[in-house]
Structure 1
Amino acid sequence: MTSDILVNVTPMETRVALVENGAVQEIFLERNQTRGLVGNIYKGKVVRVLPGMQAAFIDIGLERAAFIHASDIDHDRVDNEPHKPIQTLVREGQALVVQVIKDPMGTKGARLTTALSIPSRYLVFMPGSNHIGVSQRIDGETERDRLRKTVTEMKALEEIEKGGFILRTAAEGIGEFEIRSDMNYLKRVFRVLQERMKDSVATSVIYEDLPLYLRVARDLVRADTEKIRIDSKETFGKVQDFVTKYMPEVIDLFEYYPGERPIFDLYSVEDEMSKALSRKVELKSGGYLIIDQTEAMTTIDVNTGAFVGHRNLEETIFKTNLEAVTTICRQLRLRNLGGIIILDFIDMVDEEHRRQVHRMLEKNLEKDHAKSKVTGVSELGLVEMTRKRTRESLEHVLTEHCSVCHGRGRQKTPQTVCYEVFREILREERAYNNDRYLVLASQQVVDRLLDEESSNVADLEEFIGKPIRFQVEPIYSQEQFDVILQ
């Protein structure tokens, strides 16, 4: 398997596509106005303790108070020993250093822990633990033992008395020099954090994780990665500086993409993102999936559709279910679906067929970076699974409840449509020689272009050297727009 990473950077947002064997597998999106919080460390203030829920609300300076459970504070207990009551662990008004482990989602605030962790290229440093762990994705006991022994020895050499480490997947096969360099980097970072913890006031940020374009270098580069293409020269320069300093061994993988064709058109990423917002996913055989996201869970229904097979009904059903497994696992990653997921495969009579479908599901999920747990087939013929969710799904980031249909469906947000307008203008500018542009769009989109996005519009006009005018088209829906060349 080979993989490429495409990085599309604009002043408004950064988008990253992970492509494996020519097919888009995952999309990462970070908007400058709403950056993800996972990994950030805050000095918070306890605003409310809830004994009935064994949890507390913490003010970390966000719009909504964040949430912490007793299990995310009481880390020193022995296995099977009950957690201490929340009221003995924290009190109202208390300052508490916490880290975000889940972004705010829907009406829920961020989820927190007091077990801090700071990642580097090969290691994750845990200042409150002495445990040394190895990523489950590193196979072979010999390699796992070697890595544990190396970290233990380096820890003694660097005189790190308190603090544990987890060796990340990228650590497989690396030597003492790389591990020691990472330890020194993490020591410096934590020393700075300790100073900030002492000096900071409550509800302030102590540590922010790297921006998405640098996290790509730190977290997504693997042994099978062939190229990381970045379409912004300025961002490419920043990534080069970062990689030269911390990851010189992979610097040859990064390249600047100056092509006239938009980088996300190389592998039809834009098309795949549009398809990922649809309920229906076609299978090559003629069958299809129906994917429904709700507040409580996601359901995926498999249907034979037009596929009639060549032998008998059982064989047709089995082949459709096998094909559906591969597509389901790709859609889980592409749409970033998490939480409880119910898979409704077509009923199979043959017990061996059911076992093969289940085995193939588990095998395909091994490629997924997010942890998942799969049950067997239930009495109703359903497969229940969970997939760890730390950020919003692609649908929730790109769309909102439709005011026209009173929440029964979804539509792209004005912000998403504005960015599509910007990309369309850049696309037209590359293809044609125009004097100016006129954008026809809905009232909501034009209002946003003239208000919240006005500085981005000014930057775009300066970049292309041509004026852009906007006109409201009353009959247009929120997703409709036209760019007219003048």
Structure 2
Amino acid sequence: MKKSVKKQLLMNKTGDEIQVALVEEGRLAELIIERPESRRSIGDIYLGRVHKVIEGLKAAFVDIGQKSDGFLHFSDVGTTTEDYKALIEDDDDDDDGGEGEGDEEGDAKGSSAVQAEPSGAKTVARSGGRGPSASGKDSRSEQAEKRQSYTQMIAGKLKANDSILVQVIKEPISTKGSRLTSDITIAGRFMVLLPFGGGQVAVSRRVVSRKERARLKKLVRSMLPEGFGAIIRTVAEMQEESLLRQDLEMLLGKWTQIEEKLKDATPPQLIFKEDTIISSVLRDSLNSDVTEIVANSPSIHKETLNYIEWAAPDMVKNVSLYQGKLPLFEGYGIAKDVESIFSRKVWLKSGGYIIIEHTEAMVVVDVNSGRYAAKREQEENSLKTNLEAAREVVRQLRLRDIGGIIVVDFIDMMDNRNSKKVYDTMKGELRNDRAKSNILPLSDFGVMQITRERIRPSLMQRMGDQCPACGGSGVVQARFTTINQIERWLRKYALQQSMKFQQLDLYVSPTVIEPLQNSDMKTEMKWFLQHLLFVRVKEDESLRSDDFRFYSRKNSKDITAEYGDL
């Protein structure tokens, strides 16, 4: 039986930035950050305009109003294209999306697991070779011909300047635009609505009871309007009919709003915006393992309560508004974990460490024994360090939201049984990760290859600015993160002073002083009202963007280190 892990959700608002931390057994496991200039776009629905179709790439580039065109692969285009085109053009011509049970569909996390392929080609994506000629060269040849036919069919349907309804399934990364799909889904608490699902109902694989799967499918199918489909999520297990119906009615209401907005829409235009970061995190992370939900903002606390009262009334008692004197993350002991995201080196309890390097093509992790003394046999030492490193690597992948190809260079071991132990440990840890991943056993050189689902830039990329000193070859801490550290320092300093109205000089780099001077309210006045301190901000070109210095104006003494862990 899987051991239950004690979890906490901490919702921290500082200025315009919202940080949501998932803490497992007292340690930071995941961190989601949203700022006004970089709001999440996963799940957003746009009416786009096809810019160009490239048959060689089997894809189309679609203008959705972002800096770069979105990428729409032919495999992400189904009969929904025709259905939405009919809807936009007020045409009565409808395509049949097909029927299917979908018993083996995966866990739904906001993306469609059921494809509605064009008529005559729908077996290409789902058949897996089943049927009269499902073995040998004939089957492979037949499937290859069907794929080619499918590609030509899609290429013939998509034309430049066509209007198409698309949904973002991966955010822009570096110079690449958003990854798009035309198979629209709307995620709810207990199910994912498929507006053109053709009556298909699928259940998450994590619902293992055959009786419960049958109950859920029968129940949801009886509620769905004609032509709609649904994917039932894991949290729907053993839920009452009234809650499922309430969730479905909310999703149908959202779809009605989308239909209304489409009538007068002109591409490129945003048609539907996903839920707020708070609602999204609660929707995807809330389960019985979450024992505490804490917010430091009254508005976030109220939004959280409203959602919990609807989705999980029995968990209202777990929600609280933070009243501590220290900043929220410091109060719960995870502030250093947040700042460690920018560190290349991560120490292990045994004295070993891992080095995390980002390259253009992949992330490379090197495992070292460090100062771990060789009191035991070398093989035993190597195994212990590698097992500890495997657990820490998975934690760092989740914490930093690292996706794509990851290569881990473990310490060499002679015994193949030990290599399998490391592989099994890594595989077991990845089961707790909500992102999909694939893992290969250690090679003869002690190297393990992992691929992890990447739907947005890593946390390090989102929290960091390009380093002006190295021309962008490295990443330094973002200036907004430095400002948050400054405000935490001021709060700690003010709490420890008996005398108010003290005078301080703050020295920061030119990159940090700019947002301080351009804020809506004069920063020095804001800090005086908050802490009753007179702070004068000054520029120091010798300081890095992740550094700052406080001086007492009374005696010109540097007091930075006395009141902060720097």
Q: Per the shorter chain, which TM-score range?
A: over 0.9
Secondary structure of the residue that 1:307 maps to in structure 2? coil
Out of 18, 23, 40, the residue aligned to residue 19 of structure 1 is 23
1:240-292 deviation digits (Å, cap 9, x = unpaired): 23333454343222111121111101333220122221111111111111111
Does the 8 Å CA contact 1:12/1:456 hold for their aligned counterparts? Answer: no
- Indicate whether 1:147 and 2:216 are aligned: yes
**Secondary structure at 2:151 match in 1:** coil
Structure 1 residue aligned with 2:12: 8
Contact (CA 8 Å) 1:154, 1:176: kept in 2 or not?
no
Verify: 1:71 aligned to 2:116, yes or no. Answer: no
Q: Name the CA distance, whole Å, in 1 between partners of 2:460 and 2:430.
A: 21
1:317-375 CA-to-partner distances (Å, cap 9, x unmatched) read 11111111111111111111111111222222212112221111111111111111112
Task: Evaluate the alpha carbon distance shift between residue 90 and residue 455 of structure 1 in structure 2; reply closer, same or farther with a 3 A threshold.
Answer: farther
Q: Following the alignment from structure 2 to structure 1, what is the Cα–Cα distance between the partners of residues 411 and 537?
A: 50
2:157 to 71, 89, 112: 89
SS at match of 1:192: helix
8 Å contact 2:490–2:531 — kept in the other structure? no
In the superposition, relative to structure 1, how do residues 361 and 145 fare at CA in structure 2: closer, same or farther (>3 Å)?
farther
Deviates more, 1:339-348 or 1:405-414: 405-414
Change (3 A) 1:306 1:216: same
Aligned to 1:217: 282
Name the residue aligned to 1:48.
52
Contact in 2 for aligned 1:73/1:89 (Cα 8 Å): no
Deviations 1:1-37 (A, max 9, x none): 2111111012311001111111111111111221011
> What letter matches 1:443 in structure 2?
P
Q: Give me the whole-angstrom Cα distance separating, in 2, the residues matched to 1:455 and 1:242.
A: 32
CA contact (8 A) 1:17 1:26 kept: yes
Q: Which runs of 5+ in 1 are unaligned?
A: none
Secondary structure in structure 2 of the residue aligned to 1:27: strand
C-alpha separation between the residues in 2 aligned to 1:295 and 1:87? 31
**Partner SS state of residue 292, structure 1:** strand
Which deviates more from structure 2 when the two are superposed, residues 241-250 or residues 59-68? 241-250
From 515, 519, 536, the equivalent of 1:448 is 515
**CA distance 1:364–1:96, shift in 2 (3 Å):** same
After the TM superposition, which residues 239-318 of structure 1 pair with which residues of structure 2 at under 5 Å, given as runs? 239-318=304-383
Distance 1:238 1:380, change over 3 A: same
Q: Tell me by how many angstroms 1:467 deviates.
A: 6.1
One of 133, 137, 144 as aligned partner of 2:202: 133
Return the match for 1:475 from 538, 542, 546: 542
How much does 1:72 deviate?
Answer: 1.0
Q: Equivalents in 1 of 2:491, 2:64: separation in Å?
A: 39
Look up the equivalent residue of 1:361 and give its one-letter code: M
Across the aligned residues of Structure 1 and Structure 2, the Cα RMSD in angstroms comes to: 2.2
**Residue 385 of structure 1: SS of its match in structure 2?**
strand
Shift of 1:221: 1.0
The 8 Å contact of residues 297 and 340 in structure 1, kept in 2 or not, is answered as: yes
Residues 311, 484 of structure 1: CA spacing in aligned structure 2 closer, same or farther, 3 A cutoff? closer
State the alpha-carbon separation in 1 of the partners of residues 355 and 366 from structure 2.
5
Q: 1:478 to 1:239 in 2, by over 3 A?
A: same
Give the Cα–Cα distance (whole angstroms) in 2 for the partners of residues 189 and 456 of structure 1: 41
Q: Which of 154, 157, 181 is the matching residue for 2:246?
A: 181
Q: Is the 8 A contact 2:412 2:445 kept in 1?
A: no
The verdict on how the C-alpha distance between 1:218 and 1:462 changes in structure 2, with shifts beyond 3 A counting, is farther
Q: Which residue of 2 aligns with 1:319?
A: 384
Give the distance between the partners of 1:37 and 1:305, measured in 2 at CA.
41
Q: Which runs of 4+ in 1 moved over 6 A?
A: none
Deviations 1:303-325 (A, max 9, x none): 22222344311111111111111
> Could you tell which deviates more after superposition, 287-296 or 220-229?
287-296
Q: Is the 8 A contact 1:434 1:485 kept in 2?
A: no
Q: 1:57 to 1:456 in 2, by over 3 A?
A: farther
Q: What is the distance in 1 between the residues matched to 2:194 and 2:437?
A: 23
Aligned mates of 1:222, 1:460 — CA distance in 2: 39
Q: 1:78 corresponds to which letter in structure 2?
A: T
Residue number in structure 2 paired with 1:363? 428
**Structure 2 residue identity aligned to 1:137:** R
Please give the TM-score of this superposition, normalised by the length of structure 2: 0.80
Aligned counterparts of 1:309 and 1:105: Cα–Cα separation in 2 = 43
Letter in 2 for 1:99: Q
- Equivalents in 2 of 1:325, 1:260: separation in Å? 37
Higher mean C-alpha displacement, 306-315 vs 294-303:
306-315
SS at match of 1:376: coil
- d(CA) in 2 for partners of 1:137, 1:149: 18
How far does residue 379 in structure 1 lie from its aligned partner after superposition?
A: 4.2
Which has the higher mean CA deviation after the structures are superposed, 384-393 or 66-75? 66-75
Distance, in Å, in 1 between the alignment partners of 2:396 and 2:15 is: 28
Q: Residues 131 and 310 (structure 1 numbering): CA distance in 2 closer, same or farther, change over 3 Å?
A: farther
User: CA separation in 1, counterparts of 2:506 and 2:438?
Assistant: 48
What is the rounded CA distance, in whole Å, between the counterparts of 1:437 and 1:237 in structure 2?
Answer: 36
Structure 2: distance between partners of 1:421 and 1:384: 40
Q: SS where residue 317 of structure 1 aligns?
A: helix
The structural deviation recorded for 1:112 is 0.8
Q: Once the 2 structures are TM-superposed, how far is the Cα of residue 179 of structure 1 from its aligned partner?
A: 1.1
Unaligned runs of 5+ in 2: 79-115, 125-142, 554-566
1:32 aligns with 36
CA apart distance, 1:134: 2.4
TM-score normalised per structure 1: 0.93
Provide the C-alpha distance between the structure 2 equivalents of 1:300 and 1:138, rounded to a whole number of angstroms.
Answer: 35
Residue type matched to 1:90 in 2?
A: L
What residue is the counterpart of 1:118 in the other structure? Answer: 186
The count of aligned residue pairs is 481
Q: How much identity, in percent, do the aligned residues show?
A: 32
266-275 vs 244-253, which moves further: 244-253
Please give the secondary structure, in 2, of the residue aligned with 1:188.
Answer: helix
